[in-house]
Amino acid sequence: MNSPLPQNALWEVFLVIVKNSIPHESYNTWFRPMRMISVIDNRITVQVPSQFYFDWIEEHYSSIIASAIAESYGPEFSLIYSILEGDSLELLKHKPIRSLRANDKKTSDESHLNHRYTFDNFIEGECNSFARAAALAVSEAPGKTLFNPLVIYGGVGLGKTHLVQAIGNFALKHNKVRRAVYVSSEQFTVDFINSVKDNKSTNFSRQYRSADILMIDDAQFFAGKERTQMEFFHTFNTLYQSGKQIVLSLDRPPSALDNMEARLISRFHVGLTVDIKPPDYETRAAILRKRVEEDCIFIPDDVLDFLALNISSNVRELEGSLIRLMAHASITGQDIDLPLAKRLLKDIIKVKQKTITVETIQNTVGKWYGIPSDLIRGNSRKKEISHSRQMAMFICNEMTNHTLKSIVSLFGNRDHATVIHSIRVIKKEFSKNKNLREEYERLKHEIEVQSF
Ligand code: ADP
Ligand code: MG
- How many Å apart are CA 98 and CA 338, to the nearest integer? 34
Q: What is the model's pLDDT at position 408?
A: 87
Q: What is the model's pLDDT at position 392?
A: 95
Q: Which residue has the higher pLDDT, 423 or 350?
A: 423
Mean of pLDDT over the chain = 85
- Is 291 in a helix, a strand, or coil? helix
Tell me the pLDDT tens digit for each residue of 383-395: 889 999 999 999 9
Segment 238-265 shows an average pLDDT of 95
- How many Å apart are CA 62 and CA 300, to the nearest integer? 29
Q: Nearest-CA neighbor of 391 among 407, 414, 406, 405?
A: 407
Per the CB < 8 A criterion, the answer to whether 113 and 172 are in contact is: yes
Ligand 1 pocket, residue 265 CB under 6 Å: no
The residues, ordered by sequence, that sit 6+ positions from 15 with a Cβ below 8 Å of its Cβ are 31
- How many Å apart are CA 207 and CA 318, to the nearest integer? 36
Ligand 1 pocket, residue 161 CB under 6 Å: yes
Segment 239-258 shows an average pLDDT of 95
pLDDT at 289 over 80: yes
Spacing, Cα 385 to ligand 1 middle (Å): 43
Q: What is the model's pLDDT at position 92?
A: 31
- How many Å apart are CA 391 and CA 395, to the nearest integer? 6
- Which listed ligand is nearest to 220 at the C-alpha? 2
Q: What is the model's pLDDT at position 89?
A: 26
Segment 319-331 shows an average pLDDT of 82
Q: How far is CA 446 from CA 38, 73, 125, in A?
A: 56, 55, 20
Spacing, Cα 316 to ligand 2 middle (Å): 10
Segment 28-36 shows an average pLDDT of 85
Segment 289-311 shows an average pLDDT of 84
Range with the largest mean pLDDT of 126-130, 291-295, 342-346, 353-357: 126-130
- Which listed ligand is nearest to 114 at the C-alpha? 1
Q: Nearest-CA neighbor of 327 among 314, 310, 340, 339?
A: 340
Segment 48-67 shows an average pLDDT of 80
Q: Which residue has the higher pLDDT, 143 or 95?
A: 143
pLDDT at 91 over 50: no
DSSP result, 245-257:
EEEEEESS-GGG-
pLDDT at 168 over 70: yes
Tell me the pLDDT tens digit for each residue of 365-382: 999 999 998 999 988 888
Terminal Cα distance for the chain, rounded:
64
Q: What is the model's pLDDT at position 414?
A: 74
- How many Å apart are CA 160 and CA 182, to the nearest integer? 13
Number of CB atoms found within 10 A of residue 264's CB: 17
Q: What is the model's pLDDT at position 100?
A: 44
Q: What is the model's pLDDT at position 103?
A: 39
353 band by pLDDT with thresholds 50, 70 and 90: low
Q: What is the model's pLDDT at position 37?
A: 84
Spacing, Cα 260 to ligand 1 middle (Å): 26
Q: Which of 32-46, 83-97, 137-151, 310-324 has the lowest mean pLDDT?
A: 83-97
pTM for the whole thing? 0.67
- How many Å apart are CA 163 and CA 260, to the nearest integer? 24
Number of CB atoms found within 10 A of residue 306's CB: 22
Segment 132-144 shows an average pLDDT of 97
Q: 30 has which bridge partners?
A: none
Q: Nearest-CA neighbor of 84 among 66, 96, 74?
A: 96
- Which listed ligand is nearest to 158 at the C-alpha? 1
Question: Which of 158, 313, 315, 317 maximizes ligand 1 atoms within 8 Å of its Cβ, making it the mutation to test the pocket?
Answer: 315
Residues 378-406 as b/e (b if ≥16 CB within 10 A, e otherwise) read eeeeeeebbbbbbbbbbbbbbbbebebee
Per the CB < 8 A criterion, the answer to whether 33 and 49 are in contact is: yes
% of the chain with per-residue pLDDT over 70? 91
Spacing, Cα 121 to ligand 1 middle (Å): 10
DSSP state of 110: G
Per the CB < 8 A criterion, the answer to whether 361 and 447 are in contact is: yes
Quick one: which H or E segment has residue 281?
A: helix 281-294
